[in-house]
A and B are shown apart, each in its own frame.
Chain A
Amino acid sequence: MAHRKVGFGLRGIGHAVVNGVGRLGYASRFFLMILIGSGASFRRIHLTIREIYFTGVMSLIIILVSGLFVGMVLGLQGYETLQKYGSESALGSLVALSLVRELGPVLAALLFASRAGSAITAEIGLMKATEQIAAMEMMAVDPISRVVAPRFWAGVTSMPLLAAMFSAVGVFGGYLVGVVFIGVDVGSFWSQMEAAVDFRQDIVNGVIKSVVFGIAVTAIALFEGYDAPPTAEGVSHATTRTVVTSALVVLGLDFILTVFMFRGV
């Protein structure tokens, strides 16, 4: 019996690898199809604007509230640590650098994946399950360019704006706790921040990161929705997979991007 089990295991692994590679190929082709079918997203900009409302505006509250709390926690924890070395004046730069370089783009992307990404997957999956996609094809309308591409560009546009708002609100949260509650000197808080944060090195890189995350999360959400089996169970699995895959891909990409961006510093 044992050799049969081993055989099954190996076959299972082989199967998983073949499946995974196949899916990756399909995903890449899907991504290419989105880019090719993007014309309508710009020609009929209101299609994209509508989706920005559903991805961007609807994510605002969770992004702003989380940003504020993350900034406040950073202020509190940063102060606790920095004051041991007598350099609590560096609080501003600590809060700003952590937010702009890492926490802003990464946390905003994770929140975006669970708020907007899962919604996109569920929506597209349901459109498929209720034959709306098929109906569109039968009406000679390409669903990729009519449904998928506008959502893609909306996600790519919203993500950096959300990340910027997350960071800005976070800095304000840090200021609130550090300066208003604890009483770090206002002047040194801002001046240290300004001195430490570089526009090109930190802010532009942070924005680049959030654009990349926006592309990744939106593409994953769209693909999972489009690829979902057209059943209630299939859609719910796809939604879960969107959040999990997005989180892993965002964290992995973050490491890779950080290596390229900040290694020389």
Chain B
Amino acid sequence: MERTTLDMWVGAFMVGGLIALLILAFKVGNLGGYDGSKTYRVYGEFDNIGGLKIKAPVKSAGVVVGRVSGIQFDNKTFRAHVEMRLSQNNLFPKDTSAAILTSGLLGEQYIGLEAGGDEANLKNGDKFKLTQSAMVLEQLIGQALFSKASGEGGDKNTAQGGNKKP
């Protein structure tokens, strides 16, 4: 085969492979969008983060505005210390609240931001004043059972009483 034809095929092959890699990186793997220079860091302290993971999305009004970049346990307050990187394009008022939410019943967990009304915006290194912890399924079920148990307490007691009787 002619050398130039061969070179062209190989060149096309390499380009195709690199395009595939780029598609995987940007379209599938969601690299980019939030590179270091264009983000700012904010923190939030939560009583319980549930199943939140690093890289989980930070959304506001359902739109991804940033990602969770670090999760640590604070030894003094005994709470979870979560670091988020938000896109420089999305600025939020200082009194914005952060909540850990779940997408769907069994979906992954993310942080939802609810914008406040303050004039000043959050800056790099600021902390959310208002946070809401994750809903842990066991606790929810526990609460539901407890409230049900207290509501139907009488019936239960009689039933138990009945059992004790010979």
Contact = CB atoms under 8 A, between A and B. Distances in A.
A196 B108 CA distance: 9
B28 A197 contact: yes
A171 B28 CA distance: 8
A195 interface: yes
Contacts of A89: 104
Interface in B52-70: 55-57, 64
A100 B28 contact: yes
A87 B107 contact: yes
Contacts of A53: 1, 6, 9-10, 13
Interface string A167-210: 11101000000000000000000110111111100110011000
Contact of B24 (A49, A85, A195, A203): A203
A52 B57 CA distance: 40
A194 B55 CA distance: 11
B153 interface: no
Contacts of B9: 53, 57
A168 B24 contact: yes
A164 B10 contact: no
B20 interface: yes
A162 interface: yes
A137 to B, nearest CB: 26
Contact of B31 (A168, A190, A199): A199
A46 B55 contact: no
A41 to B, nearest CB: 14
Interface of A: 46, 49-50, 52-53, 56-57, 60, 85-87, 89-90, 96, 100, 158, 160-162, 164-165, 167-169, 171, 190-191, 193-199, 202-203, 206-207
Given A100-B28, A171-B24, A207-B21, 8 more contacts: A46-B3, A57-B13, A85-B106, A87-B104, A167-B24, A193-B28, A197-B30, A206-B24
